[in-house]
Amino acid sequence: MIYWAETEKKHIQILNINVREYFRYIKNEYQSMHDMSDIVESNADIYNTALEKLNNTKENLIKQKDISILELNHQDLENKNAFLKNKDLAFSKMLPRDTKRVQIFKGFYVAYLNSIISEYERLRFLNTKDIKIILIYFLKN
């Protein structure tokens, strides 16, 4: 009974110290992913808000049918009837400075999104590899 009790104490120690600490470490790694996801969400909100505001502005300008306020270049101003008839063409050409600003917001959002995806893939690869090694180590102990 004494040997059995000592074996159980060692199992408890292994579980309490090694396994708990290992999974606490894994949890902390994923907590940093949670922080990164907050940054991605805030950049997505900024981009979506700017895009919605730009589209609403463009929509209002198209409804006014005043081609001079669309900030088009000279070649595009010559084809003003085409812009008034084709909404997609007008949207792609009008307000280039504001459109570029929204594209910059999109670039930030995409960059953060790609970084969180690559970090998740890195953690997933390392953890699947490490869990096998750690479990073998725990079983040996």
The confidence score (pLDDT) of residue 30 equals: 79
**Where exactly are the structural domains of the chain?**
2-140
The confidence score (pLDDT) of residue 110 equals: 93
pTM of the shown model: 0.66
- Each residue's pLDDT, cut to its tens digit, for the chain (141 residues) gives 788 888 888 877 777 777 777 778 877 877 888 888 899 999 999 999 999 998 888 888 777 766 565 566 666 666 666 666 767 777 777 777 888 899 999 999 999 999 999 988 888 887 777 777 777 777 776
The confidence score (pLDDT) of residue 2 equals: 82
Kindly give, in sequence order, each residue whose CB lies less than 8 Å from that of residue 87, ignoring residues fewer than 6 positions away.
62
- CA of residue 91 relative to chain centroid, distance: 27
Amino acid identity at 41: E
